[in-house]
Structure formats: structure tokens, C-alpha cells
């Protein structure tokens, strides 16, 4: 096999020759939904400084921004994730915040900074990942910024729209509301806990389980459809994605809403691969599942009387969720098991500690 010859173009050339194929045909696209008339009048293909949207009906504009290149990408440094993978993750991470507000994503602006040793093919791989992530989320990468930096730096801003007054907040939960989550959490945190220390464990996991751990990073999914159901149908009283981990998310909703939460431990879904990593680490599966991670499930609350209608609505769309507890008036986040034993929520919430995930899961934290 003949080695690929690396080429290194300047920024204008990369914009003109390497990015264009991902940006064609945007201008004039209708990007609204749910009766909201939104048209991308000038997209990135127009080659102007900004994208232009025509908004022809009353609506709320939802905007969120995330910088996601950092120590959590140790798996990229290890060669386990590609440039395409981290570009894809960038898009999904930003759209996930829009989904958690119950909004329809209408575009993503991305910032891609890279060191001089990143050649054209590597650069284009990142852009292709961003493009595919946006496509799979049902939206468009409408431009942004590229340029040099001391290392790869990825950031983005996502935009969404929803009907006025329908945006989902963290602050609407009330005592008696059910606490729900769209699926198991902790997979991405478990991957970061496992792979850097794989050689220190008594045995490695199977190839199939390792692929499952990496797939969480390679192809995460923003819960856009779930968020739209919760928002447009006014089912959720509060909602947030679990990108800081399930425990942190529950605590953030708790503080914003001024309530407490009691979680039923046996009702929290645990991904089998997370349980296997927890066994190797000698920690509780539930603790690792709820600890710092970068999953994009939705945690939400809803009135108990709306449970069956909401579940039926999800089922019609081929979706599901788990009821894992309820809001209380205690002001505390705690869990209870089938024996009735009550304790603080297991696991460690992500608070920008220096510690790696494996330390966080065991409660040993470097501030």
C-alpha cells in the first residue's frame, strides 16, 4: 500500500477546496418545524461573513455553545478516536443542548483550530465529522471559523427554535413530579475510566465490549425527537441533558427547581458495559453509571397524571424512557433501594475537577 502523501494548504485554500463539498446547497433551505417558518436565506455556501435566517412567524430562538476539546479526549490522544469522531462529537454535543430545551435545531457554527502538523486530509476528516454529525441531527453546519493553534481546539454554537413559551427549563420541577431519563448513562465515562488503565486491570474486556464503549464516543446521539415531544406537547416540567453525568444533572435540576429528588436505585438503567468496567475498577455499577460522563440522554420531570400519554407518544415515535424516581420537598438528592435504605445519590458529580473519571467514580477527587 502506497503511503498517502501529506499536503498542507493555507486557510483560504482549505476553505475554498476542502470544506466546500460539505456546505453546498444550503441557501434557501427550510429549516423550521412544528409550524415555525424558518428559512436559511444565506448559508455557508453563500460565502458571506454570517449566515442569514428569515423568521416569518413568532418563535423563541434557543442558542447554546460548547467548547469540547480538552482532557476528556484522552481517547483521541491514544489513537482510539479519529478526527472524524471528534468532529461528529462536537456537532452532537452542541445540538444536544438544543434538544434538551425542546427546540428544533436550525444550524451549527463551528470553530476548528489546529496545529501546523495537521495536514489537509486530517483537517478535512474533522470537518467531515462535523458535517455528518449535523446531518444525523437533522441540521446544517452553517459556517464558523478555522485557523492555527498550538493543538486541536474544537468549539461550536448551536441554534434552535421553538414555539414561544414552550422552551424546557431546569427550573420547573415540583414535588410529586416523576423523574425520568431516556436511557442508560455512564458509557462515555466508563470508556475514559477503562482504556487509559486497561493494562493495569487483571483482565481486559472482550473486543465486543470495548467496541461498545468506544461507540458511545464515536456516534453519540442528541435526543432531538425526544426533546420535541416533551416540549411541543408540554409534557416535561423540567429537562436537561446528561452531558455532565446523571448525578450532576439531577442535582442541577434540583437546585434550579428548589425541590429534592428520591431515586429508586433498581429503576435506574445501567448499561452492561458500564457494569463490566465497574467490576474491574471495584466500584458499584450504579455509582459509575451516575458519575461524571458525557452522555446525551435527557433527564426530565413530568406530572404523574401525564405519564401514560407521554409514554404512548414516545412509543408512537419508536422511543422510550425510564421512570427512576420522583421530586420531593426535602431539598435533598437521595436514593433508596428495595430494602428501604436511603443514602445520598451514589457516584461523583462532574464539577470541573482535575481528577480522571476513574478517581471520580471512587470518590477520590483532586480539586
The binding site comprises 49, 65-66, 97, 144-145, 170, 241, 243-244
* Contact criterion met (CB below 8 Å) for 190 and 281: no
Smallest CA-to-CA distance from 224 within 110, 94, 104, 317 is with: 104
Q: In what order do the strands lie in the sheet with 322-328?
A: 236-241, 298-302, 178-181, 322-328, 260-264, 333-336, 342-344
Smallest CA-to-CA distance from 307 within 328, 284, 324, 293 is with: 324
Query: Which residues are annotated as part of the binding site for ATP?
Result: 144-145, 170, 243
* Contact criterion met (CB below 8 Å) for 105 and 158: yes
Question: What is the rounded distance in angstroms from the CA atom of residue 92 to the CA atom of residue 66?
Answer: 10
Question: What is the rounded distance in angstroms from the CA atom of residue 102 to the CA atom of residue 140?
Answer: 18
Smallest CA-to-CA distance from 25 within 110, 174, 122, 140 is with: 140
Query: Which residues are annotated as part of the binding site for Mg(2+)?
Result: 49, 65-66, 97, 145, 241, 244
Question: What is the rounded distance in angstroms from the CA atom of residue 194 to the CA atom of residue 192?
Answer: 6
Which grid cell is 216? Answer: 458511545
CA separation, residue 341 to residues 213, 275, 284 (Å): 31, 22, 16
* Contact criterion met (CB below 8 Å) for 106 and 53: yes
Max Cα distance, the chain (Å) = 67
Which grid cell is 331? Answer: 431539598
Residue whose grid cell is 496545529: 115
Question: What is the rounded distance in angstroms from the CA atom of residue 216 to the CA atom of residue 94?
Answer: 16
Residue whose grid cell is 455556501: 45
CA 255 to chain centre: 21
Which grid cell is 250? Answer: 439531577
Question: What is the rounded distance in angstroms from the CA atom of residue 110 to the CA atom of residue 90?
Answer: 8
Residue 253 DSSP one-character state: H
Q: Other C-beta atoms within 10 Å of 338: how many?
A: 9
Amino acid at each position: 500500500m502506497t503511503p498517502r502523501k501529506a499536503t498542507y494548504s493555507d486557510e483560504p485554500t482549505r476553505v475554498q477546496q476542502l470544506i466546500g463539498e460539505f456546505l453546498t446547497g444550503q441557501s434557501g433551505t427550510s429549516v423550521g418545524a412544528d409550524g415555525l417558518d424558518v428559512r436559511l436565506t444565506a448559508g455557508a455556501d453563500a460565502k458571506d461573513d454570517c449566515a442569514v435566517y428569515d423568521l416569518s412567524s413568532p418563535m423563541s430562538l434557543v442558542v447554546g455553545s460548547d467548547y469540547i476539546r480538552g482532557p476528556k479526549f484522552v481517547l483521541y490522544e491514544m489513537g482510539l478516536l479519529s478526527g472524524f469522531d471528534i468532529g461528529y462529537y462536537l456537532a452532537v454535543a452542541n445540538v444536544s443542548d438544543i434538544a434538551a430545551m425542546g427546540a428544533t435545531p436550525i444550524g451549527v457554527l463551528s470553530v476548528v483550530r489546529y496545529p501546523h502538523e495537521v495536514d489537509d486530509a486530517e483537517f478535512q476528516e474533522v470537518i467531515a465529522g462535523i458535517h455528518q454529525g449535523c446531518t444525523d441531527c437533522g441540521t446544517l453546519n452553517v459556517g464558523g471559523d478555522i485557523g492555527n493553534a498550538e493543538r486541536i481546539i474544537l468549539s461550536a454554537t448551536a441554534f434552535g427554535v421553538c414555539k414561544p413559551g414552550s422552551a424546557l427549563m431546569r427550573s420547573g420541577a415540583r414535588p410529586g413530579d416523576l423523574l425520568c431519563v431516556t436511557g442508560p448513562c455512564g458509557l462515555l465515562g466508563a470508556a475514559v475510566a477503562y482504556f487509559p488503565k486497561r493494562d493495569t486491570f487483571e483482565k481486559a474486556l472482550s473486543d465486543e465490549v470495548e467496541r461498545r464503549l468506544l461507540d458511545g464516543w464515536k456516534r453519540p446521539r442528541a435526543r432531538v425527537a425526544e426533546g420535541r415531544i416533551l416540549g411541543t406537547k408540554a409534557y416535561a416540567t423540567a429537562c436537561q441533558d446528561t452531558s455532565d453525568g446523571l448525578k450532576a444533572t439531577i442535582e442541577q435540576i434540583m437546585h434550579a427547581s428548589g425541590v429534592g429528588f428520591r431515586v429508586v436505585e433498581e429503576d435506574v438503567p445501567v448499561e452492561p458495559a458500564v457494569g463490566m468496567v465497574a467490576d474491574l475498577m471495584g466500584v458499584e455499577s450504579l455509582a459509575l453509571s451516575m458519575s461524571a460522563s458525557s452522555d446525551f440522554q435527557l433527564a426530565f420531570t413530568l406530572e404523574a397524571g401525564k405519564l401514560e400519554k407521554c409514554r404512548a407518544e414516545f412509543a408512537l415515535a419508536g422511543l422510550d424512557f425510564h421512570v427512576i424516581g420522583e421530586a420531593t420537598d426535602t431539598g435533598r438528592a437521595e436514593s433508596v433501594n428495595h430494602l428501604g435504605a436511603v443514602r445520598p445519590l451514589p457516584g461523583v458529580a462532574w464539577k470541573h475537577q482535575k481528577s480522571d473519571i476513574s478517581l471520580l467514580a471512587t470518590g477520590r477527587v483532586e480539586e
